Amino acid sequence: MIEAGDNPLLQPWTAPFGLPPFERIEPAHFVPAFDAAMRAHRAEIAAIAANPDPPTFANTIAALDASGRAYVRISHVFRNLAASATSPDLQAAERELAPRTAAHANAILLDAALFARVDALHGRRDALGLAPEERKLLERLHLDFAYAGARLAPEARRRAGEIGERLALLTTTFRQNVLQDEATQGVVITDERDLAGLPASLREAAREAARQHGRPDAWFISLSRSIVTPFLAWSDRRDLRERAFRLWTRRGELDDARDNRPVAREILKLRNELARLHGFSSYADYALTDRMAKTPAAVAGLLERVWGPAREKARIERDALAATARSCGATHAIEPWDWRYYAEKVRRARYDLDDGEVKPYFVLDRMLEAAFDCAGRLFGLRFVRRPDLPVYHPDVRAYEVQGADGRTVGVFLSDNFMRPTKRGGAWMSSFRDQSRAHGESLPVIVNNNNFAKAPDGVPTLLSADDVRTLFHEFGHGLHGLLSQVTYERLSGTHVLRDFVELPSQLFEHWAFDPGVLERHARHADTGEPIPHELVLRVRSARRFNQGFETVEYAACALLDMALHASEDPEGVDVAAFETAELARIGMPREIVLRHRLPHFDHLFGGNGYAAGYYVYLWAEVLDADAWDAFAEAGDVFDPAVAQRLLRYVYSSGGTLDPAEAYRAFRGRDAAIEPMLAERGLVGDEAPAWPFRRAPRVSLPRTRRAVKSPPGRPRPTK
């Protein structure tokens, strides 16, 4: 029994849809709330483990899935607020709780008596007569225990627990260090002449960023991607571009007091030790046993098919940039802080496409409505604005999500703007996951973006990349909202890491469908729809600069695998390793990693994407092939294809083997050609490369899935 007292986290939540009482929650409430919730959870676990009756699915597996409701509920709130609306007090609580919550999880997963019950059921699963979802839950939980170390000898089990607790603190420290750099560092501009080249929308965003940092008299080029990358593309001041670029790429190592390089080094060492405890020679071998790819060799095979053509195309792109620079009178070589600037000039010349011409048609509110409309036409959803619902920040908008029959299917929270108290990037998370094992539990899903907010009274305009990000995260959101499973452990996005990006990346395709744009992209000032001719120019430029974009992403994935495939990372100098590995793969001098190691939150801000950054490319093979299913049907909203997509991808969660789910949707394995064609790496626009035809990617059969910790925001590329 939990003692509620005056703590709102422990009292009944009486807001509509059981939303948290955000207005009453303070950082000081979390530690005592976790203490009480963990005590209650441990009592439930002890009762399951000590049950004198023989283990059954109901008294062991279903009971485990249902346990710790208060703990899970509080965890969701805590982790979301720590990422989206943090404070020094909340960060202090996060540092205190990180090893303690890790120890709590270890106490459950390394409980010998509890695992004995789960293992006994798993050993005779064929004879239990379980429904398919019940069997999947049993297999998933059994793998969770084994993956955590339940099968290890006692001393190794103890050490695995210690490593988990230490990693929890280190990854928290890493995230907070990056957030601090992003929240405090940037380029302050006080002379309006230094804004030369910047469009009005970017000037306004920089002015608003400066206001948030207490400098209403200036403009602030923050280290948020939504401000710094357009600054690099538009600023005529090469010296300021270089200064902003160097700050941006050195996040996580700008201050000795929060240098992430020793943090990353210790994380790598501990991960390798954990892998060796489990009998693997490297962390990559250990991590990939629970992914679709299964082995580092499979990952390498995909990355190598892309790296050579991408690098060659980037070389061709660089030569075009150099020619443009010379035509502008420049005598310097192309440097990394020049690439986006001259690429924008090439794009304007080659495609007659100016970002300043396009952005007024990409008004945030209308693009969000476009995403809602696509979800309605595909899946029958309706998003009803609910300003009466409690939210954790004034920027957040709440929506009740209704199905085609008018019944509520969940709540959607849209949090789109950057702010100093919010970490960078974009991600989807949840305040509650869907399930129905113990009464209908409706999902509460949140999308976080970091768009540059326009001043009051001025519409926020998005770049094409921002629109793609909006639709990407919304695809993740739909994956959570449309879940139709019984058990929470298998709900929504709790699937294999290299499958979880399929619903999000696939949804990006609708963002630039001509019909969608002509219906929703309207000029911010005139309200006129985007001209069809401009839509055609936008689409014709979609492969532009793909060599650069593929290289900066694929190099990160290759570096990630090299780091985690190392069998002896003891004392590794991450900066030296990064330099040496980029030299080994032939990284073009003019391009840098999308995420350098000191701020590579995917790898070191948690364990989910470690030895797993490749998953975006793996999922891109699937999403490009899946989009072809609509193209083949002749309608991007074809009802039959959409219904298959809903049934086998968006609603099934972890109840289906992902490879089999894709085959059920598509009727076959995915082909790699659509992805290569989308990136311009094959066909008339591609450089020559030594593969005449790329074979289909065979999706390995597996019964394994993966889940992020409850409420842990999932970062995106």
Active site members: 473
Residue 471 identity (one-letter amino acid): F
User: How far is 445 from 476, CA to CA, in rounded Å?
Assistant: 9
The DSSP bridge pattern shows strands 444-451 and 219-222 to be: unpaired
188: number of Cβ within 10 Å: 13
- The CA distances from residue 214 to 16, 85, 186, 209, in Å, are 36, 18, 13, 9
Q: Which two tokens stand for residue 403?
A: 């199905």
Q: Give the burial class of 90: count Cβ atoms within 10 A of its Cβ; 0-12 exposed, 13-18 middle, 19 or more buried.
A: middle
User: How far is 698 from 516, CA to CA, in rounded Å?
Assistant: 33
Collect all residues with Cβ–Cβ distance below 8 Å to 263 and sequence separation of at least 6: 170, 173, 174, 177, 604
- The CA distances from residue 245 to 390, 422, 545, 548, 583, in Å, are 39, 21, 19, 16, 21
- Rounded to a whole number of angstroms, the CA Rg of the chain reads 25
Longest CA–CA span in the chain (Å) reads 84
User: How far is 343 from 548, CA to CA, in rounded Å?
Assistant: 10
Encode burial over 191-227: b for 16+ CB neighbours within 10 A, e otherwise: eeebbeebbebbebbbbbbbbbbeeeebbbbbbbbbb
CA 597-600-603 angle, to 5 degrees, is 100
Sheet of 427-432, strand order: 382-385, 397-402, 408-417, 444-451, 427-432, 714-715
**Which residue reads 């676990």 in tokens?**
45
Q: Give the burial class of 129: count Cβ atoms within 10 A of its Cβ; 0-12 exposed, 13-18 middle, 19 or more buried.
A: exposed
User: How far is 528 from 534, CA to CA, in rounded Å?
Assistant: 13
Q: Which two tokens stand for residue 204?
A: 């306004």
The DSSP bridge pattern shows strands 444-451 and 408-417 to be: parallel
List, as one string, the DSSP characters of 559-602. Answer: HHHHHHH-S--TT--HHHHHHHHHHHHT--TT---SS-GGG-HH
Beta bridge partners of 410: 401
Q: Give the burial class of 48: count Cβ atoms within 10 A of its Cβ; 0-12 exposed, 13-18 middle, 19 or more buried.
A: buried
User: How far is 388 from 262, CA to CA, in rounded Å?
Assistant: 46
534: number of Cβ within 10 Å: 18
SS3 551: helix
Q: What backbone torsions phi and psi does residue 446 show, to the nearest 5 degrees? A: -125, 135
